[in-house]
Structure 1
Amino acid sequence: MKKYLLISLLSLITVFSFGQMGSIGFSLGLPQNEFKENTDATGFGGDLSFAFPFQKGTPIYLGLDVNYMIYGRNAQNEDLFASINDQNGNELARLEIPLRIVNTNSIFGTHAFIRAVAPLELIQPYGEALFGFRYISTNTKILDRSNDRRWATEDDSDVISRETVLDDWILSYGFGGGFLIKIGPKAFIDLRVNYFKGQRAEYFDGQDTESWEVTFSGSNFDEATVSGDDLTFNTSPRESTTDLLVIKFGVAFKI
């Protein structure tokens, strides 16, 4: 995931280096069709895009859009217990392990687009077509709630482990449009709506992660360490197409 995010950001920088239009703002993601039937989650996040004219003097732009949304996040405290045994299997001590489990469902998307902008003065409507991919994932972070952070893997952090429980890559394409409303010589309010068709994918809903029960399935721990590999999650993922309506509100600049 980090590699693809870096590639997307480098591509945006390349476009911006000789680009003519940039936009940054907030986004709202609403599942559609079969995706909506499987989940009522709503995504919230941010959006960044850059574009440059297809040909100098024409209102046709080529560009790249990067979007990240969280569509479910919850946290719960868990108090687990572990036994310390001698070589004969006799229990020497019983340890309490206070943990906090944070679950985050997210969608990262990057799309190339072609955009036609009406060259008007105050309000410039535009239409666009987009093609790219989205990465949908559920990540779990296990935090140490003990006062001395005895279970954490790093001295300056309360994080015991981070784990990608489930992820999937989705081919995504769509269309949309919006309005650029002039508020300065080179600045605009950018109001945009995009509709995306998405491939089938497996994913978890926020309600799924709220009901997770965390238990130890192994014995790779002692009085100094707890391994996140010993944790199990007893939930089956959902599966459907991943059509999405994304509403965006931001500020655009023409250079």
Structure 2
Amino acid sequence: IILITTMATAQDQKINFGLTGTLAIPQGPFRDNVERLGPGINFMFGYQFPNTPFLLGADAGFVSFGSDERTEQLSSTIPDLRVRIKNSYNMGHGQLLLRMQGMSTNFRPFMDALLGFNYLYTETTLRNRNSFGEEPVLRDTNFEDWALSYGLGAGVQIKLAEFQAVGELEDMSMPSRLYLTLQTRYMLGDEAEYLNSISTDNGNVVYDIRKSRTNLVYIQVGVTFTF
């Protein structure tokens, strides 16, 4: 009801670009296996069809489900040279986005439908023990999997600022607006395999591989720029 009542006839900007901070909350068996929340970042780019509440775009982001670090011998033949090994458990995601949003310029509730993928991967890096802020000596993605992802979302945009740029013609103007964006999403993800941890046992690497659906709830706060 709120969305419908805010669909005013005012001409809105066609291009929408969003940047949000994300907290990904695993659901069901995925939550039981991962046991961690996933902070991350999200980008959105969309085109709103003129004089309609509909926007079509793309959405992509990155989520980190934590990391672990240990010190190991470089090899069994060089036991006196030790290095730091770090494992990072990450997820990238990308979706096509269909949005219906209010056309008011000050307060715009919206609803989303999304279809895309989750890319779960574990990256291992090797560094010198006493190096901080330096590039890793070695880097490798040692486990990865893909899963179909789809879901719904809702949120609001609240205008923070408006900018008026004058075009080549005196009577032509191109308004741009900056919005605070608050949104949440429930995304269903198909089954995928992923690493829960990597450890060593008597010199052998042990991979704790888990498999489950990759359902997630996202809570996102950020800004949207329209022009």
Q: Could you tell me which residue of structure 2 aligns to residue 46 of structure 1?
A: 41
SS in 2 for 1:162: strand
CA deviation digits over 1:214-255, x for unaligned, max 9?
776xxxxxxxxxxxxxxx521230111000111111110110
- Preserved CA contact (<8 Å) 1:98 1:146: no
The amino acid that maps onto 1:174 is G
Q: Could you tell me which residue of structure 1 aligns to residue 69 of structure 2?
A: 75
Shift of 1:192: 1.0
Match of 2:127 among 143, 147, 151: 143
CA distance in 1, matches of 2:45, 2:54: 13
CA distance in 1, matches of 2:221, 2:116: 21
Q: Could you tell me which residue of structure 2 aligns to residue 24 of structure 1?
A: 19
Structure (1 or 2) with the greater helix fraction: 1
CA deviation digits over 1:6-49, x for unaligned, max 9?
xxxxxxxxxxxx95111112101000122122221111111111
- Preserved CA contact (<8 Å) 1:196 1:244: yes
CA distance in 1, matches of 2:189, 2:105: 36
Report the identity percentage.
28
Structure 1 residues 81 and 167, CA, compared in 2 at 3 Å: closer, same or farther? closer
* TM-score, with length taken from structure 2: 0.81
The farther-off stretch of 159-168 and 64-73 is: 159-168
Q: Could you tell me which residue of structure 1 aligns to residue 200 of structure 2?
A: 213
Q: CA RMSD in A?
A: 2.1
Match of 2:140 among 159, 163, 170: 163
2:160 counterpart of 1:173: no
Structure 2: 5+ residue stretches without partners: 1-12, 163-176
Q: How does 1:212-231 map to 2 (within 5 A)?
A: 212-213=199-200
Aligned residues: 199
CA distance in 1, matches of 2:180, 2:28: 30
* TM-score, with length taken from structure 1: 0.72
- Preserved CA contact (<8 Å) 2:57 2:96: yes
2:102 counterpart of 1:118: yes
CA deviation digits over 1:145-172, x for unaligned, max 9?
379xxxxxxxxx7634222221001110
2:164 counterpart of 1:187: no
